[in-house]
Chains A and B, each alone.
Chain A
Amino acid sequence: MNKWFKHIGIAIALLFSVTAFAHDGAEHEHDAQANNGQIWSQLKAGAEGYTTSTSEFHAQPINTYDLRVLELRSDLLAPALMAALFGMIIIFIVFIKVNGISKLHGGFSGKLVYRWSKFDVSIHWLGAIPCLLLILTGLTLLAGRFFFQPYIGEGLWSNLVYAAKQVHDFMAIPFMLGWALMTALWAKNQLPKMYDVKWMMVVGGYINFGPFKGKHPDAGFANAGEKLWFWAFAVFGLVISASGMLLLFPNLFEPSRTLSLIALVLHSVSAIIITAFSIVHIFMATVMSEGGMECMVSGYCDETWATQHHNLWFDEIKENGTLKYKE
């Protein structure tokens, strides 16, 4: 950390030269002249002045901020995002190898229960596809230079990173739309209930060994894991969208440079969390939970799947007569 301060310090000292010579002739000077020490402290405090340049931020000679941001990004956030993506995948593969997947007890019933509207399915994918692309391109932008660039050619790298930036910029819009719709429309089904605690205690019953084996905790429309994912997605989706907007439309919001850097960090942190959850979510839906994927394809789920994973919901719709089977 000190390294940064030291080197920036040298640059600044060379620029202004006043730190080193705080006393040059000060005592002979009349009021009209600036005292070097005063100039220096004003500049360090980020004083702004008059300039003929019309470029942004040019009125301020020095913008100071905590330079640890830079190492935070390179040393912590970049590897963390790599871990969130590839680490989670590896963990899941290992887990499935050891644990196996959650099979439907008694196989598919063949009867498909209405669970999601066509609109719900489409907003899911409106968010999901851009989300996947954003994760991949975002990873390239945050961590690519450390993890990919050394292994690929210069020309390929510049094309790759350029494409990543373009895709990232364009995908941001549908993603935010999807996020906003999902968050707004689905929240009422995602409110936490008491039985969610029990669900958590047994990790949803997905673990096929030890004391957890064979448990099937209660779950409503959404189980506790899904609720956790939903709320994480809602909150960090907000953070990532807001910070992303600042970075994408600097001319619109005119953020300060420090705010932009903070946005950058928050964007990365949110990305790490969303990425990790996304991997879990994808694995759960596609591999782990047999029959889960069907929900976001047709909007219907197998009756067995419904009773096994969302028993309370199934009981409820049966009771109030909203249960609907696919024709």
Chain B
Amino acid sequence: MQLTRKSNTATTVEKKTLGISRRQFMKQAGITSGGIAAVSLLGTGMMRRAEAKDVPHNAPTEIKRTVCSACAVGCGLYAEVQNGVWTGQEPAFDHPFNAGGHCAKGAALREHGHGEKRLKYPMKLVDGKWKKLSWEQALNEVGDQMLDIRKESGPDSLYFMGSAKFSNEGCYMYRKFAAMWGTNNVDHSARICHSTTVAGVANTWGYGAQTNSFNDIQNANAIFFIGANPAEAHPVAMQHIMIAKERNNAKLIVVDPRFTRTAAHADLHCGLRPGTDIPFIYGMLWHIFENGWEDKTFIQERVFEMESIRVEAKKFPPKEVAHITGCSEEEVYQAAKLMADNRPGTVVWCMGGTQHHVGNANTRAYCILQLALGNMGVKGGGTNIFRGHDNVQGATDLGLLFDTLPGYYGLKTGSWKHWSHVWDLDFDWVKNRFDQTSYLGRIPMNTPGIPCSRWHDGVLETPEKLAQKDRIRMAFFWGQSVNTETRQRDVRDALDKMDTVVVVDPFPTMAGVMHRRQNGVYLLPACTQFETEGSVSNSGRSQQWREKVIEPLFESKTDLEIMYRLSQKLGFADEFTKRIGKDANDVLVIEDITREINRGMWTIGMSGQSPERLKLHTQNWGTFSNKTLEAVGGPAKGDTYGLPWPCWGTPEQKHPGTQILYNTHKHVLEGGGNFRARFGVEYKGENLLAEGSYSVGSEIQDGYPEFTAAMLKQLGWWDELTATEKAEAEGRNWKTDLSGGIQRVAMKHGCIPYGNAKARCIVWTFPDAVPVHREPLYTPRRDLVSKYPTYDDMQVHRLPTLYKSIQEKDTAAKYPLGLTSGRLVEYEGGGEESRSNPWLAELQQEMFVEINPADAADRAIRDGDTVWLEGAEGGRIKIKAMVTPRVKPGVTWMPYHFAGEMHGESLAANYPEGTVPYVIGESANTALTYGYDPVTQMQETKASLCQIVKA
């Protein structure tokens, strides 16, 4: 039998190249004539650029170092560019985060260079038809309408929805743009992502970020996932988790209503009922306290008020926990025991924990578990909170939020003064940009704006109930998919009601297509992050410098250019870019923006990460260890990859970055730390500062408050400042001294600039001082409502917010199935981008709901049937049923990435020609319901109710 070919040189049979085909002609026309000729040949909407297959293989290749834009792991890769076309993607085996690995989205990244379904040029909806515009005309019209509305309704009637897809520079400038416009109505998807984490965690120990790093998980002996599914949401993180599992025999515990892909690799899976995280954690703590497994020394030295937790945990004996959560007593015991026996252990959570109306309390409960076990500030421990979007950490840090300025400075007058100082602007000028009137007792400049989760309430609510002059009349949806917000029917009504809708995005997105308008919608094509450069922060607070891979496709422009041009139109460009240079083409010098960020971000130590240092790290990522993230040699020797903040002081001080927060085993100059003194020095007469615990090398060998000029003087360290530092530092503190002198001197003495305090288990400023279990607003367990009721209705910032009035109504009879939502590995966020990527879209072509075989049998539904799912507020969606044991009886699950259909009807006709994604489907959020966290306005997407019937 002939199995091998006889000759190695295979004969080439009949090359079918008889002349030039129409197809080939079109291709070549696309390359050579570009723009106009190609457009006239192919018609509008068919404009195409050269594609990889059009470029000869031997064309010279440029290699660009870039970072995946899919999630916050921050995977690096090499992009190969030939003749200006992104022709290849090579794994970066030497990258410290991913070692060349990618999930489906990262492996399909090069499609960004095709952009077949992208928005090609500015467009405007005129009498129901999309009309092409020039950039100039588009920005003029948009700007005029902004100014008109400002005149009539004040600056707060504009809404600025931002994006976690911006570079750090983009995030910062967008927040600054809103400030210069004079409003706090600016927000982005962190609101519906980890806002409750940031609030809950920062209020526990100082900062609201992932405390350790993905790589550090390799050191863990136990990994506790609650509401986290990294196998599908952060697949590359599993690389490190698997190493811990294989090398340390680390125990994996997955607490999730679904048997997820992560659960398949776990030692223990606890399928709790959605919305019962707090009882589950108290159930574990009950065992921990009962058996004396808590770390008593750690608690005594570094934790405030664990006693309140003991009291609360007493209320959750095993039987009660099993009754509430649906997990067996044995499962809860095993979870506690595995965590107690295998230290250090780390806790990982994501949207399953945060997206609840008690989200902030959930996150505090997880922190308290780690505090009880003494797992904080150590290798292999910590709370590894995996962020979602590629730069959601950066966007949060840079204050692209309704309730703070960059660096978590808040909105107090002092905060505004600090940033005015950073911007080199007169505070009064900034102040005068705002509406000076007070509404419902709140002053707009110092009151959080309207959140991303509820901008539609800002449109639909009567103006009298809003703590601002008028309702929202015009909104920018800049890199945000509105289909990720619950109550889609209200979102649609709000889109209909506004004067003008402006979408700035590489894709039309749902804000551009789901409304029923005939006029007043603008689509402005922004380019992706691969068509520009800038820094990006991963979940572990490391920053990388993304190189520009290709020039902006079609007529798209960078976010920064659009903002700058708009500011010129609106007349505040000079103030907006006062300290930022412009190149010969009047384009902002991006490094100057990074330097301005460094100039102001003292609170979180984002001050030492100069563009030069970030570029050095990215260019030499191969010199950093995949295990420790540290460079043992090379030009960045001694640094931690990406200078994870806090990277204290000025760039010249060369702080190496802090991989593990609150780690007392290291000197502050090497990335050591302790819990932050953020909440004062005492509470009700009790000491809040650390007792006998301090970081290595600290000259103050006990707790101490945050550093101020006065404190330096008291300590006799004032004269260690230089004369220029003294001039700047006088009367300021470590957060507002732009010279960095206070930080420098504090660290010279081994002290952390933010002080040394205890973490706190009670947050007296929150609605619940300790985490309290409250049944979801739409709960299937009516029997538990009286014992674990929700809050009373209340006003949160500018919006009235409902709780009890919703929970009082018994919806469980009509909607007996629990409903929760989550992610698919192939898609990301609202999915507009990933569903437009054919390599990904092919893998998930239909929206579906997972339903247990028992529930399906009751409804005569078979796998693959089309069903109507009706949410508890009546939103109906027509989708496919996936009958699977992944979900328990009584629970259903939907992915949230789909959009483009509503109530069974396709919206494809509303898209501009050639921009309909490859896959469209019903949005899960059409069926999802009301429910907002009282602290952060996080939406409830994880615990609702529904009914399913066969279509």
The answer to whether A and B touch directly, with their CB atoms under 8 angstroms apart, is: yes
Binds B, one of A30-38, A178-186, A229-237: A30-38
Q: Are A30 and B268 in contact (CB under 8 A)?
A: yes
Interface residues of B in 234-271 (CB under 8 A from A): 249, 254, 263-269
B11 in the interface (beta carbon within 8 A)? yes
Q: Mark A144-170, 1 if CB is under 8 A from B, else 0.
A: 011000100111001000000000000
Q: Are A33 and B11 in contact (CB under 8 A)?
A: no
Q: Are B264 and A33 in contact (CB under 8 A)?
A: yes
Q: A52-B843, A52-B844 are in contact. Are A28 and B249 (CB under 8 A)?
A: yes
B20 in the interface (beta carbon within 8 A)? no
Q: Mark B1-38, 1 if CB is under 8 A from A, else 0.
A: 11000000001011000000000000000000000000
Q: Are B11 and A154 in contact (CB under 8 A)?
A: yes
A29 in the interface (beta carbon within 8 A)? yes
- Give B253 Cβ to nearest chain A Cβ, in Å: 10
Interface residues of B in 208-254 (CB under 8 A from A): 249, 254
- Give A169 Cβ to nearest chain B Cβ, in Å: 21
Chain A residues with CB below 8 A from B187, complex form: none
Q: Mark B928-948, 1 if CB is under 8 A from A, else 0.
A: 000000000000000000000
- Give A206 Cβ to nearest chain B Cβ, in Å: 40
Chain A residues with CB below 8 A from B264, complex form: 32-34
In chain A, what residue has the closest Cβ to B6? Answer: A150
- Which of A29, A150, A158 meets B13, CB within 8 Å? A158
- Which of B1, B11, B267, B268 meets A74, CB within 8 Å? B1
- Which of A52, A146, A153 meets B826, CB within 8 Å? A52
Chain A residues with CB below 8 A from B268, complex form: 30, 32
Cα–Cα distance between A34 and B254 once the two chains are bound (Å)? 15
Cα–Cα distance between A146 and B269 once the two chains are bound (Å)? 57
Q: A154-B11, A154-B13, A155-B14 are in contact. Are A32 and B844 (CB under 8 A)?
A: no
Chain A residues with CB below 8 A from B843, complex form: 52-53
Chain B interface size, as a band, is 10 to 19
Q: Are B2 and A145 in contact (CB under 8 A)?
A: yes
**Chief secondary structure at chain B's binding surface:** loop
Most buried by A among B13, B254, B269: B13
- Which of A30, A150, A158 meets B267, CB within 8 Å? A30
In chain A, what residue has the closest Cβ to B844? Answer: A52
Q: Are B266 and A32 in contact (CB under 8 A)?
A: yes
Chain A residues with CB below 8 A from B844, complex form: 52
Chain B residues with CB below 8 A from A53, complex form: 843
Cα–Cα distance between A29 and B269 once the two chains are bound (Å)? 13
Cα–Cα distance between A150 and B265 once the two chains are bound (Å)? 53
Cα–Cα distance between A53 and B1 once the two chains are bound (Å)? 34
Most buried by B among A74, A150, A154: A154
Chain A residues with CB below 8 A from B2, complex form: 145-146, 150
Cα–Cα distance between A52 and B1 once the two chains are bound (Å)? 37
- Give B103 Cβ to nearest chain A Cβ, in Å: 13
Q: Are B266 and A155 in contact (CB under 8 A)?
A: no
In chain A, what residue has the closest Cβ to B7? Answer: A154
Chain B residues with CB below 8 A from A146, complex form: 1-2
Q: Mark A65-85, 1 if CB is under 8 A from B, else 0.
A: 000000000100000000000
Q: How many A-B residue pairs have CB under 8 A?
A: 34
Chain B residues with CB below 8 A from A34, complex form: 264
Q: Are A32 and B267 in contact (CB under 8 A)?
A: yes
In chain B, what residue has the closest Cβ to A149? Answer: B2
Q: Are A155 and B11 in contact (CB under 8 A)?
A: yes
Cα–Cα distance between A28 and B843 once the two chains are bound (Å)? 35
In chain A, what residue has the closest Cβ to B14? Answer: A155
- Give B538 Cβ to nearest chain A Cβ, in Å: 27
- Give B354 Cβ to nearest chain A Cβ, in Å: 25
Q: Mark B257-290, 1 if CB is under 8 A from A, else 0.
A: 0000001111111000000000000000000000
Cα–Cα distance between A143 and B265 once the two chains are bound (Å)? 50
Cα–Cα distance between A30 and B1 once the two chains are bound (Å)? 49
- Give A215 Cβ to nearest chain B Cβ, in Å: 47
Chain B residues with CB below 8 A from A33, complex form: 264-267
Cα–Cα distance between A28 and B844 once the two chains are bound (Å)? 36
Q: Are A32 and B11 in contact (CB under 8 A)?
A: no
Q: A52-B826, A74-B1, A145-B2 are in contact. Are A32 and B13 (CB under 8 A)?
A: no
Q: A28-B249, A52-B844 are in contact. Are A155 and B267 (CB under 8 A)?
A: no
Cα–Cα distance between A113 and B455 once the two chains are bound (Å)? 98
- Which of B13, B249, B826, B845 meets A155, CB within 8 Å? B13
- Give A43 Cβ to nearest chain B Cβ, in Å: 16
Cα–Cα distance between A32 and B263 once the two chains are bound (Å)? 7
Chain A residues with CB below 8 A from B13, complex form: 154-155, 158
- Give A73 Cβ to nearest chain B Cβ, in Å: 10
Interface residues of B in 841-862 (CB under 8 A from A): 843-845
Most buried by A among B14, B263, B267: B267
- Give B819 Cβ to nearest chain A Cβ, in Å: 22
Cα–Cα distance between A30 and B254 once the two chains are bound (Å)? 12
Cα–Cα distance between A74 and B1 once the two chains are bound (Å)? 8
Cα–Cα distance between A89 and B809 once the two chains are bound (Å)? 91
In chain A, what residue has the closest Cβ to B845? Answer: A54
Cα–Cα distance between A150 and B13 once the two chains are bound (Å)? 17
Cα–Cα distance between A146 and B267 once the two chains are bound (Å)? 55
In chain B, what residue has the closest Cβ to A155? Answer: B13
Cα–Cα distance between A74 and B2 once the two chains are bound (Å)? 10
Cα–Cα distance between A150 and B263 once the two chains are bound (Å)? 56
Q: Are A29 and B267 in contact (CB under 8 A)?
A: yes
Cα–Cα distance between A74 and B843 once the two chains are bound (Å)? 38
Chain A residues with CB below 8 A from B267, complex form: 29-30, 32-33
- Give B241 Cβ to nearest chain A Cβ, in Å: 14
Chain A residues with CB below 8 A from B14, complex form: 155
Cα–Cα distance between A150 and B264 once the two chains are bound (Å)? 52
- Give B743 Cβ to nearest chain A Cβ, in Å: 47
In chain B, what residue has the closest Cβ to A156? Answer: B13
- Give B897 Cβ to nearest chain A Cβ, in Å: 14
In chain A, what residue has the closest Cβ to B334? Answer: A30
Interface residues of A in 15-38 (CB under 8 A from B): 28-30, 32-34
- Give B830 Cβ to nearest chain A Cβ, in Å: 20
- Which of A32, A54, A153, A155 meets B269, CB within 8 Å? A32
Chain B residues with CB below 8 A from A30, complex form: 266-268
Most buried by A among B1, B264, B844: B1
Chain B residues with CB below 8 A from A32, complex form: 254, 263-264, 266-269
Most buried by B among A32, A34, A74, A158: A32
Most buried by B among A29, A34, A52, A155: A52
Interface residues of B in 713-741 (CB under 8 A from A): none
- Give B262 Cβ to nearest chain A Cβ, in Å: 11
Cα–Cα distance between A34 and B14 once the two chains are bound (Å)? 51
Chain A residues with CB below 8 A from B845, complex form: 54
Cα–Cα distance between A252 and B792 once the two chains are bound (Å)? 63
- Give B369 Cβ to nearest chain A Cβ, in Å: 21
Chain A residues with CB below 8 A from B254, complex form: 32
Interface residues of B in 794-829 (CB under 8 A from A): 826
- Give A30 Cβ to nearest chain B Cβ, in Å: 4
Chain A residues with CB below 8 A from B826, complex form: 52
- Give A3 Cβ to nearest chain B Cβ, in Å: 10
In chain B, what residue has the closest Cβ to A29? Answer: B267
Cα–Cα distance between A74 and B3 once the two chains are bound (Å)? 12
Cα–Cα distance between A33 and B265 once the two chains are bound (Å)? 6
Chain A residues with CB below 8 A from B269, complex form: 32
Cα–Cα distance between A150 and B14 once the two chains are bound (Å)? 20
Chain A to chain B: the 5 pairs with minimum beta-carbon distance, closest first:
A52-B843, A30-B267, A154-B11, A32-B269, A155-B13
Interface residues, chain B, with chain A CB atoms under 8 Å away: 1-2, 11, 13-14, 249, 254, 263-269, 826, 843-845
Chosen A-B contacts, 10 in total, with CB atoms closer than 8 Å, are A29-B267, A32-B269, A33-B265, A52-B826, A52-B843, A52-B844, A54-B845, A146-B2, A150-B2, A158-B13
Interface residues, chain A, with chain B CB atoms under 8 Å away: 28-30, 32-34, 52-54, 74, 145-146, 150, 153-155, 158
Since A32-B264, A32-B267, A146-B1 are in contact, a sample of 11 more A-B pairs with Cβ atoms closer than 8 Å, ordered by chain A residue number, is A28-B249, A29-B267, A30-B267, A30-B268, A32-B254, A32-B263, A32-B269, A52-B826, A153-B11, A155-B13, A155-B14
